[in-house]
A and B are shown apart, each in its own frame.
Chain A
Amino acid sequence: MEAEPGIVSPFKRVFLKGEKGRDKKSQEKLTERRALHTVPLSLPDHRVDPDILLNDYIEKEVKYLGQLTSVPGYLNPSSRTEVLQLIDNARKLHQIAGQLTAELDALVSLSAYNVKLVWRDGEDIILRVPIHDIAAASYIRDDALHLVVLKTAQEPGASPSPSGGAEGSKSPTLSALTEPGAVLLELCSLLVLAVENKAAAEELCMLLSQVFQIVYTESTIDFLDRAIFDGASTPTRHLSLYSDDSSSKVALVPSEGDLSFPGSLDGGGNSPSSCSSTPASPQIKTVSEGELSTTAAELLQDYMTTLRTKLSSQEIQQFAMLLHEYRNGSSIHEFCINLRQLYGDSRKFLLLGLRPFIPEKDSQHFENFLETIGVKDGRGIITDSFGRYRRAVSSASGSTTNGNAAGEESEEQRAPSEGDEWDRMISDISNDIEALGCSMDQDSS
């Protein structure tokens, strides 16, 4: 703390006290504020290493003027007139700050995951917007004001009318339906920030543009991976236990070379205690069940190949552990929840590939679980196609039915002995997956 000033004339004390006091406080604040977490940006397009946005973050100073909610979704973020009209109206209604004061100082923290806004002093959080909720970012110069406006999804619960409150709370973009027969209107929010100058505004917009590019690129590659996985996973034969080719033998696990990972294997000393000892090389198992075993083998190979590209070595071991626990009595519910947690939101589609490995008795729960987490049919071409594959061996000719109707249309037409055979095969396959997880421990140790 600074030392108190010496004796000052009463006149000055009275006249200048407020201003000086405020200036002094502002000055103190400025000197007390921490440095920003940022990096130099390459000009002219303010490029930053994508890794920084993926694994770190960048802070910029802004002034937070406020957030407008229940804005019609059809607002054109490129229209200066439209946006300023909304802001002006909001100012009149005191929904947006009119003057730029130090109290509005804030920090925007930008990463590939979200835009976070905190007050500059005290750093209390104002709001956080996931990147996928940001529709557009605009720079508007209004005389001396340099505004950056983010058009975002409407926050849940911010529905403008009581009748639409329920809908609004379910989805960020659902609108209020004010009266029967009224047209549904998509709503959005506008986050209004002010920056120091044009350069700062352009910098912020370019950073956001790079974030969008990273996120869009990642999601596009994911889309490609899912398309390949889906096409590869769909069965290519009628599922039948018996085949003319009953003398065929097939390896159920990939060759040893396929187990290698680009990075180093970690967790070598942490193999699950319940894992039985297995040879360093994966088990090669031959079966003579013909068609069914070949299909199961291919499904396993495809699934393991996909897991290797999507999960880290540690995560694969975790997957093996969860599978082991499930096979040893843990509930399907727990299995699903733990797997969902392991895969996360971006990889939840991997759960679909587990369909063939879920025993009959748990398949209904599994299907319901898939539906609750939004990876079942009706949500796009990928999940529609996943739904075409039916776990049930019963419908030899009907395995292209839509998964939504799976529960209604499926009928067990096979004899109990066939079902037991299927379950035994799945049990064998699951053991191989667990062995794969264990053998990775031995490889890494």
Chain B
Amino acid sequence: MTMEEMKNEAETNSMVSMTLYAVMYPVFNELERVNLSAAQTLRAAFIKAEKENPGLTQDIIVKILEKKNVEVNFTESLLRMASDDVEEYLIDRPEPEFQDLNEKARALKHILSKIPDEINDRVRFLQTIKDIASAIKELLDTVNIVFKKYQYQNRRALEHQKKEFVKYSKSFSDTLKTYFKDGKAINVFISANRLIHQTNLILQTFKTVA
């Protein structure tokens, strides 16, 4: 895959598509136990539909919730669900560096998904932020180790993804500063979701290029 294609795919896989893998993939996994064929058909259909119409899955979910009069904060719920591993994004190479990358990504997503539980207790939330800081750094360190050790033809795509991740990390930090002034937690949830999505994209990029 060329860099251009990868960039386009990354842009297409914007955060709105997060609902597909964070909410629907676990549903499909459950459905596979009941009816494998139906589950696989549905999965393929949703993937195709989402690719053509980014955000479609989220719209469907929101409408279902409205129809059922389920009052839930969608963004917060998405964040809580987003820490689960997405098999499509896990790097399946056996080398320790890649397994470490999976592990560090998992750790970061996990701690980010805990934000809704911690945000109302200032002391605990500050500790969570420190844990997030350490997790971000460890993930970036691991990315750097992989860069150093392996020479890739298409390393620009990897570097681009790393830069995107750094950009969204900084955006998350800025969002926190604003939160401590205005108290609007929803923006923190949105920013955390974006960061989780970028974490998944890093894994996806390495999986594709490596």
Contact = CB atoms under 8 A, between A and B. Distances in A.
Contact of B170 (A235, A238, A309, A400): A309
A16 interface: no
A400 B148 CA distance: 10
Contacts of A236: 143-144, 147-148, 159, 162
A232 B147 contact: no
A236 B144 CA distance: 5
B148 A228 contact: no
Nearest to B169: A228
A232 B166 contact: yes
Contact of B126 (A216, A302, A400): A216
A238 B148 contact: yes
A232 B140 contact: yes
A237 interface: yes
- A interface, over-half SS: helix
Interface in A16-52: 50
B132 interface: yes
Interface stretch (B35-43, B110-118, B172-180): B172-180
A227 B136 CA distance: 7
Interface centre among B122, B144, B174, B176 (most CB of A within 10 A): B144
A145 interface: no
A223 B144 contact: no
Interface string B115-136: 0000000100010011011101
A230 B159 contact: no
Contact of A385 (B132, B137, B180): B137
Contacts of B148: 236-238, 399-400
Nearest to A234: B144
A224 B195 CA distance: 14
A224 B129 contact: yes
Interface centre among A234, A382, A400 (most CB of B within 10 A): A234
Interface in A109-141: none
Contacts of A217: 122, 126, 180
Interface in B39-75: none
Interface size class on chain B is 20 to 34
B82 interface: no
B144 A298 contact: no
B132 A224 contact: yes
B52 to A, nearest CB: 30
Interface in A283-337: 298, 302, 305, 309
B170 A231 contact: no
B144 A227 contact: no
Interface in A126-164: none
Given A220-B130, A309-B170, A385 B177 contact: no
Nearest to A232: B166
B88 interface: no
Contacts of B163: 232, 298
A381 interface: yes
B118 to A, nearest CB: 13
Nearest to B138: A231
Contacts of A232: 140, 162-163, 166, 169
A221 interface: yes
A232 B141 CA distance: 9
19 contacts: A50-B181, A221-B177, A223-B130, A224-B130, A227-B134, A228-B137, A228-B166, A228-B169, A228-B173, A230-B137, A231-B141, A231-B143, A232-B140, A234-B144, A236-B147, A237-B147, A237-B148, A382-B137, A385-B137
Given A232-B169, A236-B148, 18 more contacts: A213-B122, A217-B180, A223-B133, A224-B132, A227-B134, A227-B137, A228-B133, A228-B137, A231-B137, A231-B139, A234-B140, A236-B144, A236-B147, A237-B155, A302-B166, A305-B170, A381-B137, A382-B137
Interface of B: 122, 126, 129-130, 132-134, 136-137, 139-141, 143-144, 147-148, 155, 159, 162-163, 166, 169-170, 173-174, 176-177, 180-181
